Amino acid sequence: MEQHIKQSGHLKAPGNWINDPNGFIYYKGKYHLFYQYFPYAPVWGTMHWGHAVSDDLVNWEHRGIALFPTKYGDMSGCFSGSAVEDEGKMVLFYTGVHYHETDPENIHLSAHDHFDSCQMMISSEDGIHFDNFNGKQVVIPPITDKKIGDKTHTRDPKVWKGKNGWYMVLGSQNEEGRGKLLFYQSRDLKNWSFVNDVSKGAGWGWMWECPDYFEAEGGQVLIFSPMRFLKDGKWEENQSICMAVDFKEDSCEMAMPDTYQYLDYGLDLYAPQSSVDETGKRVLIAWLRMPKAVEEEGISPWRGMFCLPRVVEVKDGHIYFRVHPNVKKQYARPLTDVKEAGKEGYRIRLCLEDGGSVNVGGYQVFRRGNRICTDRTAVFCAGEGYRTIFETPNVQEGNQLDIYVDDHMVEVYINDGEYVISNAVYGLTKEFQAVRGSNVEIFGKISQPFGSP
Ligand code: FRU
Protein backbone atom coordinates (compact mmCIF):
# COMPACT_ATOMS: atom_id res chain seq x y z
CA MET A 1 0.00 0.00 0.00
CA GLU A 2 1.14 3.50 -0.66
CA GLN A 3 1.55 4.87 2.85
CA HIS A 4 0.54 8.30 4.08
CA ILE A 5 -2.31 8.80 1.61
CA LYS A 6 -4.34 11.74 2.94
CA GLN A 7 -8.10 11.90 2.78
CA SER A 8 -10.65 14.41 3.93
CA GLY A 9 -14.30 13.88 4.89
CA HIS A 10 -15.09 10.23 4.33
CA LEU A 11 -12.27 7.79 4.96
CA LYS A 12 -11.94 5.43 1.99
CA ALA A 13 -9.95 2.33 1.11
CA PRO A 14 -6.43 3.38 0.17
CA GLY A 15 -6.75 0.99 -2.80
CA ASN A 16 -8.07 -2.60 -2.93
CA TRP A 17 -10.55 -3.74 -0.27
CA ILE A 18 -11.61 -2.61 3.20
CA ASN A 19 -14.43 -3.68 5.49
CA ASP A 20 -15.13 -3.22 9.22
CA PRO A 21 -13.64 -0.40 11.28
CA ASN A 22 -11.40 -1.86 14.02
CA GLY A 23 -9.45 -0.59 17.03
CA PHE A 24 -11.08 2.84 17.01
CA ILE A 25 -9.48 4.89 19.81
CA TYR A 26 -8.39 8.38 20.85
CA TYR A 27 -4.85 7.72 22.01
CA LYS A 28 -2.07 10.15 22.95
CA GLY A 29 -3.82 13.08 21.28
CA LYS A 30 -4.79 11.39 18.01
CA TYR A 31 -7.64 9.33 16.64
CA HIS A 32 -6.59 5.92 15.39
CA LEU A 33 -8.85 3.90 13.17
CA PHE A 34 -7.79 0.48 11.98
CA TYR A 35 -9.79 -1.46 9.47
CA GLN A 36 -10.17 -4.87 7.84
CA TYR A 37 -7.97 -4.73 4.77
CA PHE A 38 -7.14 -7.01 1.85
CA PRO A 39 -4.12 -5.44 0.20
CA TYR A 40 -4.01 -7.35 -3.09
CA ALA A 41 -7.33 -6.80 -4.88
CA PRO A 42 -10.67 -5.01 -4.39
CA VAL A 43 -12.33 -8.16 -3.00
CA TRP A 44 -12.53 -9.72 0.48
CA GLY A 45 -9.61 -12.07 1.30
CA THR A 46 -6.96 -12.81 3.96
CA MET A 47 -7.52 -10.06 6.47
CA HIS A 48 -4.89 -7.56 7.59
CA TRP A 49 -5.44 -4.47 9.71
CA GLY A 50 -4.88 -1.25 7.80
CA HIS A 51 -4.34 1.88 9.88
CA ALA A 52 -5.40 5.52 9.58
CA VAL A 53 -4.70 8.43 11.95
CA SER A 54 -6.48 11.76 12.40
CA ASP A 55 -6.25 14.86 14.59
CA ASP A 56 -9.91 15.74 14.21
CA LEU A 57 -11.92 12.80 12.78
CA VAL A 58 -12.24 14.71 9.49
CA ASN A 59 -8.75 14.75 7.96
CA TRP A 60 -7.15 11.32 7.83
CA GLU A 61 -3.79 9.89 6.94
CA HIS A 62 -3.32 6.22 6.03
CA ARG A 63 -0.36 4.69 7.81
CA GLY A 64 0.00 1.34 6.08
CA ILE A 65 -0.54 -2.15 7.48
CA ALA A 66 -0.55 -2.55 11.27
CA LEU A 67 -1.42 -6.26 11.64
CA PHE A 68 -0.83 -9.18 9.33
CA PRO A 69 -0.92 -12.98 9.78
CA THR A 70 2.19 -14.45 11.41
CA LYS A 71 1.00 -17.09 13.91
CA TYR A 72 -0.69 -20.47 13.85
CA GLY A 73 -3.80 -18.81 15.35
CA ASP A 74 -4.06 -15.96 12.83
CA MET A 75 -2.46 -17.75 9.90
CA SER A 76 -5.53 -17.15 7.68
CA GLY A 77 -6.38 -13.65 8.81
CA CYS A 78 -6.62 -11.00 11.50
CA PHE A 79 -10.36 -10.48 11.81
CA SER A 80 -12.12 -7.59 13.54
CA GLY A 81 -11.47 -6.30 17.03
CA SER A 82 -10.98 -3.26 19.23
CA ALA A 83 -8.44 -1.15 21.12
CA VAL A 84 -7.99 0.07 24.69
CA GLU A 85 -5.30 2.09 26.42
CA ASP A 86 -3.57 0.50 29.40
CA GLU A 87 -0.64 2.06 31.27
CA GLY A 88 0.16 4.25 28.30
CA LYS A 89 0.16 1.38 25.81
CA MET A 90 -2.30 0.81 23.00
CA VAL A 91 -3.62 -2.72 23.31
CA LEU A 92 -5.41 -4.33 20.39
CA PHE A 93 -7.71 -7.36 20.58
CA TYR A 94 -8.75 -9.22 17.46
CA THR A 95 -9.87 -12.60 16.18
CA GLY A 96 -7.22 -14.82 14.67
CA VAL A 97 -8.52 -17.33 12.15
CA HIS A 98 -6.91 -20.57 11.04
CA TYR A 99 -8.38 -22.28 7.98
CA HIS A 100 -8.13 -26.07 7.99
CA GLU A 101 -9.25 -26.18 4.37
CA THR A 102 -8.96 -23.50 1.73
CA ASP A 103 -10.68 -23.03 -1.59
CA PRO A 104 -8.20 -24.43 -4.14
CA GLU A 105 -9.16 -21.70 -6.60
CA ASN A 106 -8.69 -18.90 -4.07
CA ILE A 107 -6.51 -19.66 -1.07
CA HIS A 108 -7.76 -16.47 0.60
CA LEU A 109 -11.09 -18.18 1.33
CA SER A 110 -11.85 -21.08 3.65
CA ALA A 111 -13.60 -24.16 2.29
CA HIS A 112 -16.64 -25.71 3.96
CA ASP A 113 -16.48 -23.31 6.89
CA HIS A 114 -13.71 -25.51 8.27
CA PHE A 115 -11.75 -23.10 10.42
CA ASP A 116 -10.99 -22.18 14.03
CA SER A 117 -11.18 -18.76 15.64
CA CYS A 118 -9.25 -17.56 18.67
CA GLN A 119 -9.03 -14.19 20.36
CA MET A 120 -5.63 -12.52 20.26
CA MET A 121 -3.92 -9.49 21.74
CA ILE A 122 -1.00 -7.29 20.70
CA SER A 123 0.21 -4.08 22.29
CA SER A 124 2.22 -1.10 21.12
CA GLU A 125 4.16 1.61 22.97
CA ASP A 126 3.20 4.34 20.50
CA GLY A 127 0.15 3.14 18.56
CA ILE A 128 2.19 3.09 15.37
CA HIS A 129 4.59 0.15 15.67
CA PHE A 130 3.27 -3.38 16.18
CA ASP A 131 5.59 -6.35 16.53
CA ASN A 132 3.65 -8.93 14.52
CA PHE A 133 6.34 -11.57 15.05
CA ASN A 134 7.00 -11.31 18.80
CA GLY A 135 4.15 -9.25 20.23
CA LYS A 136 1.05 -11.38 19.74
CA GLN A 137 -0.58 -13.68 22.24
CA VAL A 138 -3.69 -15.85 22.24
CA VAL A 139 -5.95 -14.77 25.11
CA ILE A 140 -8.96 -17.01 24.37
CA PRO A 141 -8.25 -20.20 22.38
CA PRO A 142 -10.91 -21.67 20.06
CA ILE A 143 -13.91 -22.53 22.26
CA THR A 144 -14.28 -26.25 22.85
CA ASP A 145 -17.37 -26.18 25.07
CA LYS A 146 -20.35 -26.03 22.71
CA LYS A 147 -22.54 -24.81 25.56
CA ILE A 148 -20.48 -21.63 25.65
CA GLY A 149 -19.96 -20.93 21.97
CA ASP A 150 -18.82 -22.08 18.57
CA LYS A 151 -15.16 -22.76 17.78
CA THR A 152 -15.53 -21.46 14.24
CA HIS A 153 -18.01 -18.62 14.60
CA THR A 154 -16.87 -16.70 17.66
CA ARG A 155 -15.29 -13.36 16.88
CA ASP A 156 -14.95 -9.58 17.01
CA PRO A 157 -13.82 -8.84 20.60
CA LYS A 158 -14.94 -5.46 21.88
CA VAL A 159 -13.08 -4.66 25.10
CA TRP A 160 -13.82 -1.89 27.57
CA LYS A 161 -12.91 -0.87 31.09
CA GLY A 162 -15.77 -1.15 33.56
CA LYS A 163 -16.12 -0.64 37.29
CA ASN A 164 -14.88 -4.15 38.09
CA GLY A 165 -12.00 -4.38 35.64
CA TRP A 166 -11.92 -5.21 31.95
CA TYR A 167 -14.81 -6.64 29.95
CA MET A 168 -15.03 -8.27 26.55
CA VAL A 169 -18.09 -9.02 24.44
CA LEU A 170 -17.85 -11.50 21.55
CA GLY A 171 -20.29 -12.47 18.83
CA SER A 172 -21.00 -16.19 18.60
CA GLN A 173 -23.49 -18.91 17.80
CA ASN A 174 -25.35 -21.33 20.08
CA GLU A 175 -25.97 -25.06 19.64
CA GLU A 176 -29.27 -24.43 17.84
CA GLY A 177 -27.51 -22.26 15.28
CA ARG A 178 -28.70 -18.92 16.66
CA GLY A 179 -26.65 -15.82 17.26
CA LYS A 180 -25.51 -15.01 20.78
CA LEU A 181 -23.18 -12.78 22.78
CA LEU A 182 -20.48 -13.97 25.14
CA PHE A 183 -19.27 -11.80 28.01
CA TYR A 184 -15.81 -12.25 29.55
CA GLN A 185 -14.04 -10.46 32.36
CA SER A 186 -10.36 -9.88 33.16
CA ARG A 187 -8.20 -8.08 35.74
CA ASP A 188 -5.06 -7.86 33.60
CA LEU A 189 -6.23 -8.01 29.95
CA LYS A 190 -4.39 -11.34 29.53
CA ASN A 191 -6.43 -13.83 31.57
CA TRP A 192 -10.09 -13.85 30.66
CA SER A 193 -12.97 -15.74 32.32
CA PHE A 194 -16.29 -16.45 30.71
CA VAL A 195 -19.10 -14.87 32.77
CA ASN A 196 -22.38 -15.01 30.86
CA ASP A 197 -24.06 -15.35 27.48
CA VAL A 198 -27.14 -13.69 26.02
CA SER A 199 -29.35 -14.71 23.13
CA LYS A 200 -32.81 -14.18 21.61
CA GLY A 201 -35.36 -16.55 20.12
CA ALA A 202 -35.64 -17.65 16.50
CA GLY A 203 -35.55 -15.02 13.78
CA TRP A 204 -32.60 -13.03 15.14
CA GLY A 205 -29.93 -14.41 12.79
CA TRP A 206 -27.52 -17.37 12.91
CA MET A 207 -24.45 -15.43 14.05
CA TRP A 208 -24.08 -12.05 15.71
CA GLU A 209 -21.11 -10.16 14.29
CA CYS A 210 -19.30 -7.13 15.69
CA PRO A 211 -21.12 -6.56 19.00
CA ASP A 212 -20.53 -3.23 20.71
CA TYR A 213 -21.89 -2.35 24.12
CA PHE A 214 -21.40 1.09 25.70
CA GLU A 215 -22.87 3.80 27.86
CA ALA A 216 -23.78 6.82 25.78
CA GLU A 217 -25.33 10.06 26.94
CA GLY A 218 -28.86 9.09 28.04
CA GLY A 219 -28.47 5.32 28.35
CA GLN A 220 -26.82 2.00 27.64
CA VAL A 221 -26.68 0.85 24.05
CA LEU A 222 -26.05 -2.48 22.35
CA ILE A 223 -25.23 -2.63 18.65
CA PHE A 224 -24.67 -5.86 16.77
CA SER A 225 -24.86 -7.23 13.26
CA PRO A 226 -27.00 -10.38 12.98
CA MET A 227 -26.38 -12.47 9.89
CA ARG A 228 -29.59 -13.35 8.03
CA PHE A 229 -32.06 -11.59 10.11
CA LEU A 230 -35.81 -12.24 10.05
CA LYS A 231 -38.04 -9.21 9.80
CA ASP A 232 -41.76 -9.09 8.93
CA GLY A 233 -41.58 -12.68 7.78
CA LYS A 234 -38.81 -12.02 5.24
CA TRP A 235 -35.16 -12.96 5.44
CA GLU A 236 -33.06 -9.86 5.43
CA GLU A 237 -29.43 -9.66 4.61
CA ASN A 238 -26.88 -9.16 7.35
CA GLN A 239 -27.92 -5.93 9.03
CA SER A 240 -26.64 -3.83 11.92
CA ILE A 241 -29.22 -3.11 14.58
CA CYS A 242 -29.19 -1.26 17.87
CA MET A 243 -31.25 -1.11 21.03
CA ALA A 244 -31.31 0.46 24.47
CA VAL A 245 -30.40 -2.30 26.97
CA ASP A 246 -29.95 -2.87 30.67
CA PHE A 247 -26.53 -4.38 31.44
CA LYS A 248 -25.33 -5.41 34.88
CA GLU A 249 -21.57 -5.44 35.19
CA ASP A 250 -21.40 -7.77 38.20
CA SER A 251 -23.16 -10.67 36.51
CA CYS A 252 -22.86 -9.57 32.85
CA GLU A 253 -26.62 -10.06 32.55
CA MET A 254 -28.18 -8.04 29.80
CA ALA A 255 -31.88 -7.37 29.35
CA MET A 256 -32.55 -7.00 25.63
CA PRO A 257 -35.90 -5.64 24.43
CA ASP A 258 -37.76 -7.12 21.45
CA THR A 259 -37.70 -3.80 19.65
CA TYR A 260 -34.73 -2.46 17.76
CA GLN A 261 -33.71 0.27 15.35
CA TYR A 262 -31.57 -0.18 12.28
CA LEU A 263 -28.24 1.51 12.71
CA ASP A 264 -28.97 3.30 9.45
CA TYR A 265 -32.05 3.10 7.23
CA GLY A 266 -29.99 3.04 4.01
CA LEU A 267 -29.15 -0.57 4.99
CA ASP A 268 -25.69 -0.25 3.38
CA LEU A 269 -23.78 0.38 6.60
CA TYR A 270 -22.47 -2.59 8.53
CA ALA A 271 -20.21 -3.65 11.40
CA PRO A 272 -19.99 -0.30 13.22
CA GLN A 273 -17.56 0.40 16.02
CA SER A 274 -17.72 3.09 18.68
CA SER A 275 -15.17 4.82 20.86
CA VAL A 276 -14.99 7.92 23.03
CA ASP A 277 -13.83 11.21 21.54
CA GLU A 278 -11.51 13.69 23.22
CA THR A 279 -14.46 15.42 24.91
CA GLY A 280 -15.97 12.19 26.24
CA LYS A 281 -18.71 11.81 23.64
CA ARG A 282 -19.56 8.36 22.31
CA VAL A 283 -18.65 8.38 18.63
CA LEU A 284 -19.27 5.68 16.04
CA ILE A 285 -18.04 4.81 12.55
CA ALA A 286 -19.39 2.10 10.22
CA TRP A 287 -18.41 0.44 6.97
CA LEU A 288 -20.28 1.29 3.77
CA ARG A 289 -20.75 -1.88 1.71
CA MET A 290 -20.10 -1.08 -1.94
CA PRO A 291 -21.26 -3.42 -4.72
CA LYS A 292 -18.29 -2.71 -6.99
CA ALA A 293 -14.87 -1.12 -6.97
CA VAL A 294 -14.33 2.48 -7.94
CA GLU A 295 -11.97 2.77 -10.87
CA GLU A 296 -10.59 6.25 -11.30
CA GLU A 297 -7.69 7.38 -13.36
CA GLY A 298 -4.37 7.60 -11.58
CA ILE A 299 -5.31 5.58 -8.47
CA SER A 300 -5.69 1.85 -7.82
CA PRO A 301 -9.24 0.45 -7.82
CA TRP A 302 -10.74 0.68 -4.33
CA ARG A 303 -13.83 -0.69 -2.65
CA GLY A 304 -15.20 0.18 0.79
CA MET A 305 -15.41 3.37 2.81
CA PHE A 306 -16.62 4.64 6.19
CA CYS A 307 -19.52 6.88 7.14
CA LEU A 308 -18.85 10.20 8.83
CA PRO A 309 -18.27 9.88 12.57
CA ARG A 310 -21.56 10.04 14.47
CA VAL A 311 -22.25 10.92 18.08
CA VAL A 312 -24.57 8.39 19.73
CA GLU A 313 -27.14 9.62 22.25
CA VAL A 314 -30.26 8.11 23.81
CA LYS A 315 -33.38 10.18 24.42
CA ASP A 316 -36.66 8.65 25.64
CA GLY A 317 -35.46 5.20 24.59
CA HIS A 318 -34.65 6.32 21.03
CA ILE A 319 -31.05 6.15 19.78
CA TYR A 320 -29.82 9.20 17.87
CA PHE A 321 -26.84 9.22 15.50
CA ARG A 322 -25.82 12.84 15.09
CA VAL A 323 -23.04 13.91 12.77
CA HIS A 324 -19.95 14.69 14.86
CA PRO A 325 -19.54 18.42 15.67
CA ASN A 326 -16.04 18.44 14.09
CA VAL A 327 -17.61 17.51 10.76
CA LYS A 328 -20.26 20.23 11.03
CA LYS A 329 -17.57 22.75 11.93
CA GLN A 330 -15.56 21.90 8.82
CA TYR A 331 -18.49 21.78 6.37
CA ALA A 332 -19.35 25.42 7.02
CA ARG A 333 -18.11 27.40 3.97
CA PRO A 334 -21.25 28.87 2.37
CA LEU A 335 -21.61 28.06 -1.35
CA THR A 336 -24.13 29.41 -3.82
CA ASP A 337 -24.04 26.30 -5.98
CA VAL A 338 -22.98 22.68 -5.44
CA LYS A 339 -20.72 23.04 -8.51
CA GLU A 340 -18.39 25.14 -6.34
CA ALA A 341 -17.71 22.21 -3.99
CA GLY A 342 -14.30 20.50 -4.02
CA LYS A 343 -13.40 16.82 -4.09
CA GLU A 344 -14.15 16.49 -0.38
CA GLY A 345 -17.87 17.00 -1.04
CA TYR A 346 -20.51 19.28 0.40
CA ARG A 347 -23.40 19.56 2.80
CA ILE A 348 -26.96 20.68 2.08
CA ARG A 349 -29.26 21.80 4.85
CA LEU A 350 -32.97 22.32 4.28
CA CYS A 351 -36.47 21.75 5.59
CA LEU A 352 -38.71 19.53 3.50
CA GLU A 353 -42.48 19.87 3.46
CA ASP A 354 -44.76 16.88 3.04
CA GLY A 355 -44.68 15.90 -0.65
CA GLY A 356 -41.40 17.77 -1.14
CA SER A 357 -38.29 16.33 -2.77
CA VAL A 358 -34.62 17.02 -3.35
CA ASN A 359 -32.58 15.88 -6.30
CA VAL A 360 -28.94 15.62 -5.32
CA GLY A 361 -27.02 14.81 -8.48
CA GLY A 362 -29.55 12.12 -9.48
CA TYR A 363 -30.05 10.80 -5.93
CA GLN A 364 -33.60 11.56 -4.79
CA VAL A 365 -34.67 12.38 -1.26
CA PHE A 366 -38.36 12.90 -0.62
CA ARG A 367 -40.88 13.19 2.17
CA ARG A 368 -44.10 11.15 2.32
CA GLY A 369 -46.11 12.16 5.34
CA ASN A 370 -43.74 11.78 8.24
CA ARG A 371 -41.34 9.43 6.51
CA ILE A 372 -38.19 10.39 4.68
CA CYS A 373 -37.41 8.24 1.64
CA THR A 374 -34.47 7.99 -0.74
CA ASP A 375 -34.17 6.57 -4.25
CA ARG A 376 -30.77 5.90 -5.81
CA THR A 377 -32.00 4.11 -8.93
CA ALA A 378 -30.41 6.68 -11.28
CA VAL A 379 -27.01 6.61 -9.55
CA PHE A 380 -26.48 2.96 -8.75
CA CYS A 381 -25.42 -0.16 -10.56
CA ALA A 382 -28.40 -2.13 -9.29
CA GLY A 383 -27.46 -5.78 -9.08
CA GLU A 384 -29.15 -8.69 -7.46
CA GLY A 385 -29.55 -8.34 -3.71
CA TYR A 386 -29.19 -4.58 -3.65
CA ARG A 387 -32.07 -2.31 -2.91
CA THR A 388 -32.48 1.11 -4.40
CA ILE A 389 -35.36 2.60 -2.41
CA PHE A 390 -35.30 3.25 1.34
CA GLU A 391 -37.43 4.85 4.01
CA THR A 392 -37.38 5.75 7.68
CA PRO A 393 -40.12 4.94 10.15
CA ASN A 394 -42.34 7.92 11.02
CA VAL A 395 -40.21 10.73 12.34
CA GLN A 396 -41.21 12.44 15.56
CA GLU A 397 -39.51 15.77 15.34
CA GLY A 398 -39.51 18.49 12.65
CA ASN A 399 -38.49 18.07 9.03
CA GLN A 400 -34.89 19.22 9.02
CA LEU A 401 -32.48 17.45 6.67
CA ASP A 402 -28.70 17.61 6.63
CA ILE A 403 -27.34 15.89 3.56
CA TYR A 404 -23.62 15.16 3.23
CA VAL A 405 -22.64 14.40 -0.33
CA ASP A 406 -19.52 12.62 -1.49
CA ASP A 407 -18.84 11.13 -4.94
CA HIS A 408 -19.65 7.64 -3.62
CA MET A 409 -21.77 8.14 -0.55
CA VAL A 410 -24.74 10.27 0.41
CA GLU A 411 -25.72 10.57 4.08
CA VAL A 412 -29.11 12.04 4.96
CA TYR A 413 -29.38 13.05 8.62
CA ILE A 414 -32.98 13.64 9.61
CA ASN A 415 -33.77 15.93 12.55
CA ASP A 416 -30.22 15.94 13.87
CA GLY A 417 -29.82 12.19 13.76
CA GLU A 418 -33.25 10.95 14.77
CA TYR A 419 -32.77 8.67 11.76
CA VAL A 420 -30.06 8.51 9.10
CA ILE A 421 -30.18 7.09 5.58
CA SER A 422 -26.74 6.49 4.02
CA ASN A 423 -26.26 5.01 0.59
CA ALA A 424 -23.46 4.02 -1.74
CA VAL A 425 -23.77 5.78 -5.09
CA TYR A 426 -21.96 5.76 -8.43
CA GLY A 427 -21.99 8.53 -11.02
CA LEU A 428 -23.58 11.43 -9.12
CA THR A 429 -23.81 14.59 -11.21
CA LYS A 430 -23.14 18.12 -9.95
CA GLU A 431 -26.74 19.25 -9.91
CA PHE A 432 -29.16 20.07 -7.16
CA GLN A 433 -32.82 20.97 -7.06
CA ALA A 434 -35.34 21.17 -4.24
CA VAL A 435 -39.14 21.12 -4.60
CA ARG A 436 -41.17 22.29 -1.59
CA GLY A 437 -38.00 22.75 0.39
CA SER A 438 -37.23 25.83 2.45
CA ASN A 439 -34.23 27.47 4.17
CA VAL A 440 -31.87 25.80 1.73
CA GLU A 441 -28.18 26.25 2.53
CA ILE A 442 -25.15 24.71 0.85
CA PHE A 443 -21.75 24.40 2.50
CA GLY A 444 -18.34 23.26 1.32
CA LYS A 445 -15.42 22.23 3.47
CA ILE A 446 -13.61 25.16 5.06
CA SER A 447 -10.02 24.13 4.70
CA GLN A 448 -7.88 21.37 3.33
CA PRO A 449 -4.99 21.09 5.73
CA PHE A 450 -3.53 18.24 3.69
CA GLY A 451 -3.95 19.83 0.26
CA SER A 452 -6.09 18.15 -2.38
CA PRO A 453 -6.60 14.47 -1.70
C1 FRU B 1 -18.11 -8.38 9.57
C2 FRU B 1 -17.04 -9.49 9.59
C3 FRU B 1 -16.58 -9.78 11.01
C4 FRU B 1 -15.23 -10.38 10.78
C5 FRU B 1 -14.72 -9.56 9.63
C6 FRU B 1 -13.84 -10.30 8.66
O7 FRU B 1 -18.14 -7.70 8.36
O8 FRU B 1 -17.52 -10.65 8.94
O9 FRU B 1 -17.45 -10.60 11.75
O10 FRU B 1 -14.40 -10.28 11.89
O11 FRU B 1 -15.86 -9.07 8.94
O12 FRU B 1 -13.33 -9.44 7.69
| Chain segment 318-349, per-residue pLDDT in tens | 999 999 999 999 999 999 999 999 889 999 99
Closest CA to 120 of 154, 150, 165, 147: 154
Give the nearest ligand 1 atom to 47 CA. 12
* pLDDT in the model for residue 164: 85
DSSP 249-307: TTTTEEE--S--EES-TTS-EEEEEEEE-TTS-EEEEEEE--SS-B--TTS--EE-EEP
Percent of the chain's residues with pLDDT above 90: 91
- pLDDT of 118 > 80? The answer is yes
Residues contacting ligand 1 via CB (< 6 Å): 19-20, 36, 47, 79-80, 95, 155-156, 209-210, 270-271
- pLDDT of 258 > 70? The answer is yes
pLDDT in tens, 123-171: 999 999 999 999 999 999 999 999 999 999 999 999 999 998 999 999 9
- How far is residue 91 CA from its own chain's centroid? 20
Across the chain, mean pLDDT equals: 95
DSSP 192-227: -EEEEEEE--TTS-S-EEEEEEEEEBTEEEEEEEES
Distance between CA atoms of residues 180 and 154, nearest Å: 9
- Pairs from 84-88 (Cβ < 8 Å, separation ≥ 24): 84/25, 84/159, 84/160, 84/161, 84/166, 84/189, 85/25, 85/27, 86/123, 86/189, 88/125
Split at pLDDT 50, 70, 90, the class of 299 is: confident
* pLDDT in the model for residue 452: 41
- pLDDT of 451 > 60? The answer is no
The alpha carbon of 3 and the centre of ligand 1 are apart by a number of angstroms equal to 24
Residue among 119, 120, 155, 158 to mutate when testing ligand 1 (max atoms within 8 A of CB): 155
* pLDDT in the model for residue 448: 58
* pLDDT in the model for residue 149: 97
- 364 bridge partner residues: 359, 375
pLDDT in tens, 171-230: 999 999 999 999 999 999 999 999 999 999 888 999 999 999 999 999 999 999 999 987
Give the nearest ligand 1 atom to 225 CA. 1
Split at pLDDT 50, 70, 90, the class of 114 is: very high
In this structure, are residues 323 and 417 in contact, taking their beta carbons and an 8 Å threshold?
yes
The alpha carbon of 442 and the centre of ligand 1 are apart by a number of angstroms equal to 37
* pLDDT in the model for residue 449: 56
What would the mean pLDDT of 40-59 be, rounded to a whole number? 97
Split at pLDDT 50, 70, 90, the class of 234 is: confident
C-beta atoms surrounding 65 within 10 Å:
18
The alpha carbon of 427 and the centre of ligand 1 are apart by a number of angstroms equal to 28
Instruction: Please give the sequence-ordered ranges of beta strands (E in DSSP) within 125-164, or none if there are none.
Output: 136-140, 155-162
Closest CA to 273 of 282, 264, 281: 282
Q: How far is CA 59 from CA 6, 12, 21, 323, 445, in A?
A: 7, 12, 16, 15, 11
Give the nearest ligand 1 atom to 79 CA. 10
Distance between CA atoms of residues 345 and 446, nearest Å: 11
